[in-house]
Amino acid sequence: MTVGPVITAVVVGNPTPASRTQLTVRPVLTEIGGTIPGRGLYVVDSRHDDPEAYADWLAATAPVVSRLTEVHA
C-alpha cells in the first residue's frame, strides 16, 4: 500500500509539549507507508483561528508538500 504525503495536525486544549505529534502520530503513519514532509502542526485551540499560529509551520512545510504532490500526481 502506498499512502503518499501525510500532514500531522493536533489541536489541543493546553500548551503541553509540542512534540506529541512527532512522538505518537508520526511513527504510526510512517509504519503504514506515509511520507511525512515536515514537522507536525501543533496549535492550541484558543489560537486555531489565528493565521499567525500556522504561519511558521506553513512557510516551512508548504514548499515540501507542493513538491511531493507534483511527484505523486
pLDDT of 55: 92
Cβ-count burial 21-31 (b if 16+ within 10 Å, e if not): beeebbeebee
Distance separating alpha carbons of residues 4 and 8, to the nearest angstrom: 13
Overall number of domains in the chain:
1
| Domain range for 47 | 4-72
pLDDT of 52: 92
pLDDT in tens, the chain (73 residues): 556 666 766 666 666 665 566 667 778 878 888 777 777 787 888 888 999 988 998 899 888 888 877 765 5
Q: What is the pTM of this model?
A: 0.63
